[in-house]
Structure formats: structure tokens, C-alpha cells
Structure 1
């Protein structure tokens, strides 16, 4: 998994928190990346139905409340249905390990993928935003 997933959650959090400051430049400043990266990830989020944008108009808006956007929705928006885990393609079929490793790893990796997706389905963008607010309060107090 690359950093696009974390960037996508960051983008959605920014748009939800600061709807009037959601230009790609503003978000890029917060993420610490180039606005082109933000526009690319925003496009993925828009195609997944999580964001609404208007051509020629700066900014974007969430298509549903943060409590109704799961982290699994965001994960699938930027990663599709692909698994986090990838198998190597050409194990040696005559080797006792090589002949059996694919099936063994597919089962184990599948279990891990399912567990991860179940956890992401339980967490929402609202949960992330709540965590951010708690961290902000802790930073102010400390």
C-alpha cells in the first residue's frame, strides 16, 4: 500500500473541517506535497462517490456525512479491490516449498486482508476527525 490512502484520509478530513479552504493548494500545504498529487487523489475520491467537485470552481464537498464514510470506503477508493498483499509470480514448481507456497500464502494473506478490511469498515471519517480534535486539545493543554 502506498501513501495515497493516508493522503486520501487527510484530504477528506481537510474538506470536512475546512470546507472553504479546500483548494488543492491549501490541502497540498497541509499534506506537504504537490497540488498535482492532491488533484489525482481527489479524482479517485470523486470517482468513488466520496467527493463532489465542480469544474472550474475551487474546492470540493463530501457527498455524505463523515460518520457515513468508512475508512474501508476510502481504502477502496484509492486501492480498488486489490489486496495489500502480493504474491511473487514464479515459484519453482518442482521445489516442495515453491509448489505449495502460493496456496498457503493466499489463504494466510486472505485472512489478514479480511481482518484489515473488517477493522477499516468499523472506523469512520468522523472517528478520525474526533481523534484529531482530541489531539488538538491535548496539544493545547500540554
Structure 2
């Protein structure tokens, strides 16, 4: 899984927790602990999918374009990371005479596709609001 998913979820939860639900890329990047240009790339993806809106100029920034209870993590994963569970390299060689070597890439591809389907099903059960509530509960336990 790539880090864009984590950056996207963290950013959306952060915005959902703000009273006015708006922040600049520098502020969000600091909270996420990533570079602002990397954050802007992820936010651009979320904006293309309609989850984030932007306001230009003084007092501008990013804001949620949806209610936190309306979007689940499966949707965010699809927007930012679909296919990333499969590694870029797979062992084996389809030209090899060995049945293991010549079939391993195809079999592992099937396994990764099945794993991603299970992951999407699991993530579908959790919304941005659910993550925010978990963050708040974790904070209460620390207090």
C-alpha cells in the first residue's frame, strides 16, 4: 500500500476536526508530517474526485467538499491507491520449464487482487467521521 492513502485519510480527518474545516497546504502538511508539495499532489487527486474543494487567495486553503460521514475509506483507497497492494516486481519466469517459475507471477497476481478486494470490503465499513471519532477516543484515553 502506498503512503498517499494515509496522507489522504489524515488530511481529510484533520479538516473534519477543524471548526471551519479549512486549512492551507502548509498547515495540513505540518500536521501530516510530510512536504507541502507531496500533500498538494494528494489533495489534487482528492479534489478531482470531489472530496476536497479549494479556496484561492488570502484566507484560502483546502476544505472538505463532503460531510465526513458520507465518504468511506474504500472510496479514498480507490482514488489514491488502487492496485498498490501488488508489488512492482514478481518472482518467476513464464518462459521457464519449471511449473512454479512459469506460473508464480500469475498466481501471485490473483492473490494480490483477492487481497485488495478484501481490503476494499473492510475499508468500506469505515468513514472519515469514524476515523475522527477513533482519534478523539484515543486522545481521551491519554487524558
Normalised by the length of structure 2, the TM-score is: 0.86
- Cα distance change, pair 107–90 in 1 and its aligned pair in 2 (3 A): closer
* Aligned partner of 1:138 among 134, 138, 141: 141
Q: Determine the structure 2 residue equivalent to 1:64.
A: 66
Structure 1 gap segments, 5+ residues each: none
Show structure 1 runs of 4+ deviating over 6 A.
Answer: none
- CA shift in 2, pair 1:119/1:73, >3 Å: same
The equivalent of 1:44 in structure 2 is 45
Which residue pairs with 2:103 in the alignment?
A: 100
Q: Is the 8 A contact 2:4 2:80 kept in 1?
A: yes
Q: Does 1:34 align with 2:35?
A: yes
TM-score normalized with structure 1 length: 0.86
Q: Does 1:123 align with 2:121?
A: no
What value does the CA root-mean-square deviation take over the aligned residues? 1.9
Cα distance between partner residues in 2 of 1:120 and 1:129: 15
Shift of 1:56: 3.2
Partners in 2 of 1:12 and 1:41 — Cα distance? 11
Instruction: Tell me which residue corresponds to 1:11.
Output: 11
Counterpart contact for 1:45–1:77, Cα < 8 Å: yes
